[in-house]
Structures are given as structure tokens and as C-alpha cells.
Structure 1
Amino acid sequence: MRFSPFALAALPGLASAQASVPAVASPGIGQFVQVLAMLALVLALIVGAAWLMRRFSLLPGQAGGRLRVVSGVMVGPKERVVIVEHGETWLLLGVTAQSVNLLHTEPRPADAPDAQQAPLPPFAEKLAALMKKGKA
């Protein structure tokens, strides 16, 4: 076997080129645990946001439109005072972890905003239109 002089000259260069290429590390268990931790964090944030919305009555249209929470204030760690509209009557309720008590009843004020007149936010309008298309 005969080698050309150019092939012999290229051999030292190949050896140095192969030595300078860094080895690619494969993903390890540490990266897998990190991805799982981030996924758990995102899921916890979603569950927490849903709990807050339910806790503070931020979900519109509950109870089929017959009842509406007009206002509410926390008066303790688990106690609230809320104004609930039922038809043309406002009910002042004391809400605790164990019970709900009627504190006062009065007719709906004339200057109170109407729940049906309040426009939906743009996102809610689009979502309602998409849901109607899906049912039809």
C-alpha cells in the first residue's frame, strides 16, 4: 500500500480537528426533573387562579341570571358580607364557613346599574359567539 504525501500531511490535521469538537451531552435526569417542576408550577398557577375566581365571585353569569352578587367585602379570614340581588330586591347577607345569615333586605335602588345592560368584554363576546356556533 502506498500513501500519497498529501494524505500523510492531512492526518495530523484530522486528529487535531477531532479533538477540538466538544462532545454533546445527552439530557440527564436533572433536566427531566426541572421540566417536571416547571410543569407542576404552571398547573398550580392555573388551579390557583381558578380558585381565586371562584372564591371572590369573579365568574359572570352564575345561577342562571336570577341571582347576582352586587358587592362583597371580607370582614374576617372566613367571613364576608355580601349584597345579593334577587329580582328587584337586594339582600345583605353575612357569610361564614358554617352559615349564611340574612342581615337586611331593601328594594333595589333606582340608580343601581342593571346586570343585563352591562356590555360583555370583547373576549367574552367572541367566546359566546364561538360557543353558539359549536352548539348549532
Structure 2
Amino acid sequence: MPRLILPLPLLIPLPALAVGSEIPDTSGALVQTILGLGLIIGILVLGLYLLRRAGLARPQAGRLLQVRGSVAVGPRERVVLVEVGERVLVLGVAPGRVNALDSLDVNELPSADDNQRPGSEDFQRWLKRTLERRQS
């Protein structure tokens, strides 16, 4: 006669599955947890929205300064054109240092119609010509 072998987990008595006992109803706790999580996420979204609205009252640096172009002159050095109002600053940027090289009027810069991209060879030639013209 063959012997019946039961897996070990079936031999361990479980109080919740005992004869005459009922399975506890956890659907109410699950609904309460989901609603609580939704409330917390809603409060976070509302807080972030209010923080963003409050931040719009301050002037942002992106509106005051605009990088017009840059070119690498060494492995870690760059020359950058920064527009501030009606002036354009020519800055030398190196690790830990920023030096003002020159200051130009916005009218002296080429317009966007010249199809020059920041960092292109045309920008390098234009910057060299402008600096040479200013020195002479």
C-alpha cells in the first residue's frame, strides 16, 4: 500500500484556517490605506504647486543673464559671451576662476540671421577678429 507524503507546510496548523474560525476581513484596512496614501500624495502635490507659485515672484537669473556663445581655448579653459542687459561680457573661464576679458555692446554682436552656432568655427573667427579690432 502506497504511503501518502504531505509537504511540510501543510502539516503546520494555521489558527486562521482552523475549523469553525472565519478569515479576517482586511478589505476595509486596504481601502483606508489606499485613501491615506492618496491624501498624502495630494498634499505633496499641492505643496509643490504652492512652492512653485511662490518662486515665480523672485527674478530668475535666466532672465537677467544669457549665454550667447562659448569656445574652448584649452582642455579646461573657455571664452564665454554673456549678455547682461545691453552689454555683452567676454569672460575667460577656468577651473576656480572667471576673468572679464572685454565688454561689448549688443549691437557689435552678429545677429541670429548670420546662422552662427555657439562653439562653431565661425564664432571662433568672429571672436578673434573682434578682439583684434578692439586692441588696435
What TM-score comes out, normalization by structure 1 length?
Answer: 0.35
Q: State the structure with bigger RCO (CA 8 A, min sep 6), 1 or 2.
A: 2
Task: Name the larger-Rg structure.
Answer: 2
